[in-house]
Amino acid sequence: MATLGKHCRAYQLSRLRQFLGWTEKPENARIERIEVDRDIVEAPRTLTGEDYVYLQNNFTVTDGIFIDENVIFDAVSPEWIAFCRDVLGYKPVTQ
């Protein structure tokens, strides 16, 4: 069962990609159903800079509101946390 974190905030992916240490796991993007040769197939969606993703309270980034599903970034470092706070203005909720 998916878990909701205490707090998350949506950002356009293009803003997060500005971080110099950004690495992405596109294979973990949400699954979408598409038609291929009259068959419906499921595949991870292709993430573009205009897509919104969610910065979670633990500083991971997910393609959805759940903290433990569709994690596309989990290389949390002091530099990433500083970027989130200083550039994005993100302040995690601690309560």
pLDDT digit string, tens, across residues 19-71: 999 999 999 999 988 887 888 888 888 999 999 999 999 999 999 999 999 99
Residue 69 lies in a domain: yes
- β-pairing, 52-56 with 61-62? antiparallel
User: With bands split at pLDDT 50, 70 and 90, how would you rate the model's confidence at 89?
Assistant: very high
- CA–CA distance, 61 with 24 (Å, rounded to integer): 9
pLDDT of residue 59: 96
Residue 2 lies in a domain: no
Whether pTM > 0.85 for this model: the answer is: yes
Dihedral sign for Cα 14, 16, 17, 20, please.
Answer: positive
Residue 3 lies in a domain: no
7 or 62: which carries more pLDDT confidence? 62
Which residue segment(s) compose the domain that 25 sits in? 8-86
Residue 94 lies in a domain: no
DSSP calls for 48-70: -TTSEEEEETTS-EESSSBTTSS
Number of domains in the chain: 1
Q: Does the pLDDT at position 93 exceed 90?
A: no
